[in-house]
Amino acid sequence: MRQQPRVRLASPFASLVLAAASLASSACTLVGLAIGTAVDGKAAKKGPVAHVSGWEATQIGPGTTITVILEDGERIEGKYAGVESTPRSPEYGVRYAQAQARLSELPLPGLDQRVVVGMRSGRAVTGVFLGFEANDVFVQPDGEAIPRAYRLRDVASLSAENGAALHGTRLQELVADRRLPVRQRLAVGDRRVPFDQVKTVEFRRSRHSGKITGAAMGLTVDALLILAATSTDFGSNSGCRTPNCTNSCPYVYSFDGQRYTLDAEPFGQALFEAAQRPDWTRMDHLRPVDGTYRIRVANELDEIEYVDELKLLVAEVPAGGRLVPSAEGRLHLMTAPLTPARAWTLGGADVRALVRARDGSAWSSAPFATVAHGSDAGRDGVVLEFARPAGAEHVTLAFTARSTPWASRLLTRVLALQGRDLPAWTARMNGDAAARREFLTALGREGLLALRVWDGAGWRDEGALVNQGPAVWKEQAVRIDLRGIEGVFLRVRLDATPGMWMLDRASADYGDGAPPPVRELSPTSARDAEGRDLRALLAATDGRRLLLRRGDVADLTFTAAPGPDGMSLVPVLEATGYYTILVPAQGEPDRAAYQRLMREPGAFGAYARAGLRSEMEEALGTN
């Protein structure tokens, strides 16, 4: 029933995609790996240059010529010969001692010190600590002759005997951010380079391998990303009851005379009653049939949805005009939109061809993308330049974007940190304005696409795009005052935590953006599957809400009337409500990890990378 985004898939990748599918154990796993991407088969004859992290270099074929760029700027070129581990090596001992000194505020055990490893299963292991690898902690258990590797994702805590404990989530973050050294080293020719000293690895893909939009990942991961981006059902999580499942918002479908097509995911990130908000979405597939608009609201995910008000706004738009709603509900009319003259990522890659048209070939933020220095550290994004007419004092910017499925899964993981305290946390969010403000501010800072404009001296903050779910593209408008900003070009920047967003089109219009005439339509009928009349529940924002559990649907109709000659009628959905993700309230709460996410800029990125690594390993069968 749902229409999917078009993704350009180079034919040689088809077998990779199918192979990747066989490695994954469930739709949940594949959806979690979906960062959303497009593939361009027009590679240069020598093949495009790819850049991966040290950890991701394990996906490069042995014998490939690579260039390893270290954190200090040194470049090492040679044949990639694989990965080696260095148990009990003096070199690792030196690097680990240096990390202990840098992280002196943390109770890190020393090498060869006796420790207690608390497992999430409740079991405890005592033994001698031997160090970390990219996804494991190594311990020689008491009474055993052979050391054992314990997956960090399965570790609840690590502590020296009779000492303070470090939570397993924290250890995952520290390893993911290369703040803790690992024993693995890349073998490059005659050199052995520690993973945690590697900034990036360059290599050339084969001329037919394709190019991952905005990403630089190994081929196996590429295939999984493509497969997930073209998945036929973002919501196919039947029976999935873990924090790894994808959650979103209510799905609203438009009827075009032949089929229902997914058109809207309203009020994203409204995760509890006090976060309820209105949302405006242009319904691109909705057409009047026999004088009637028909829409369907459905809950297809592991959540409960509460819809307080729902109506249609029908705007009269002249031929050639484009109507774009803003986050505040203003309907902007764009009559002469310009595409970017230039567009590049924060890492310098040219992405203009990917963001100039709504064609499904989009820029996608990669979860392992990093910008190493200055104020850009821990962020990923794009910079757009538009021609600016002389005397232009205002501009309407429009962005067709959506979040990645991984972003919605990460949100579920954040809620799962509350463990058995999740009901109490939800009550606190509804009743404590300060706690709620802290949570929503952190989500905005880390999860939303921040919008900035270059004023000649620095980046001026212009807010952020409203949150959008992962299942459908949404175009949002932002009106900006340009008075005081000089220049013949307008430079705009969008950035967020890596791996969270995709951008298909960006445009700028210097007209007055005045809204066209609009008619407001209330439902003429609204019924659930049992035929109950729902109109009173949806008529106003009054706290009387339509409650939708998984599998529930509601069908609504609106009376359509013809518009003036020469005008197109463009329907916009206005919906108000919130939703609750059904996360199991079980296990010990990880309050320290939650507080870091709330208070430390960039902590979301480390937490996300640690979680995604675990899921990729599970999908690839390496656990």
pLDDT at 13 over 50: no
C-beta separation of 26 from 240 below 8 A: yes
CA dist 48 and 180 (Å) reads 32
CA dist 508 and 178 (Å) reads 40
Comparing CA positions, the residue from 580, 523, 583 lying closest to residue 276 is 580
The predicted pLDDT at position 59 comes to 66
Comparing CA positions, the residue from 328, 329, 352 lying closest to residue 503 is 352
Q: Which two tokens stand for residue 348?
A: 């310098």
How does DSSP classify residue 272?
A: S
Lookup result for tokens 């369907």:
296
pLDDT at 623 over 80: no
Going from the C-alpha of 442 to that of each of 121, 363, 497, the distances in angstroms are: 31, 24, 11
pLDDT at 92 over 60: yes
Phi-psi region of 101 (alpha: psi -120 to 50; beta: other; left: phi over 0): alpha
The predicted pLDDT at position 112 comes to 92
CA dist 577 and 545 (Å) reads 8
Model confidence at 328, pLDDT cuts 50, 70, 90, reads very high
Q: Which two tokens stand for residue 138?
A: 């190594």
Residue 73 vs residue 437, higher pLDDT: 437
pLDDT at 16 over 80: no
Q: Which two tokens stand for residue 171?
A: 């250890």
Model confidence pLDDT, tens digit, residues 166-225: 888 888 888 877 788 988 888 888 888 887 788 778 887 554 433 333 333 333 333 344
pLDDT at 368 over 90: no
CA dist 78 and 81 (Å) reads 9
Q: What is the pTM of this model?
A: 0.71
Lookup result for tokens 């709620």:
436
Q: Which two tokens stand for residue 623?
A: 């656990």
Residue 156 vs residue 248, higher pLDDT: 156
The predicted pLDDT at position 435 comes to 96
Residue 111 vs residue 3, higher pLDDT: 111
Phi-psi region of 334 (alpha: psi -120 to 50; beta: other; left: phi over 0): beta
Torsion angle of C-alpha atoms 196, 228, 354, 48, degrees rounded to 10 = 50
C-beta separation of 399 from 506 below 8 A: yes
**Sheet of strand 501-509, all strands in order from the earlier edge strand to the far edge:** 363-364, 501-509, 394-403, 474-481
Going from the C-alpha of 1 to that of each of 235, 245, 250, 289, 292, the distances in angstroms are: 12, 21, 15, 18, 20
200 exposure class (CB count in 10 Å sphere: 0-12, 13-18, 19+):
buried
Please provide the DSSP assignment of 67-121 as one string.
EEEETTS-EEEEEEEEEEE-TT-HHHHHHHHHHHHHTTTS-PPPTT-EEEEEETT
Cβ-based neighbour number of residue 431 at 10 Å: 10
Cβ-based neighbour number of residue 47 at 10 Å: 15
Show the CA angle centred on residue 292, arms to residues 289 and 298, nearest 5°. Answer: 95
CA dist 436 and 550 (Å) reads 26
pLDDT at 30 over 60: no
C-beta separation of 281 from 327 below 8 A: no
The predicted pLDDT at position 156 comes to 87
CA dist 145 and 433 (Å) reads 55
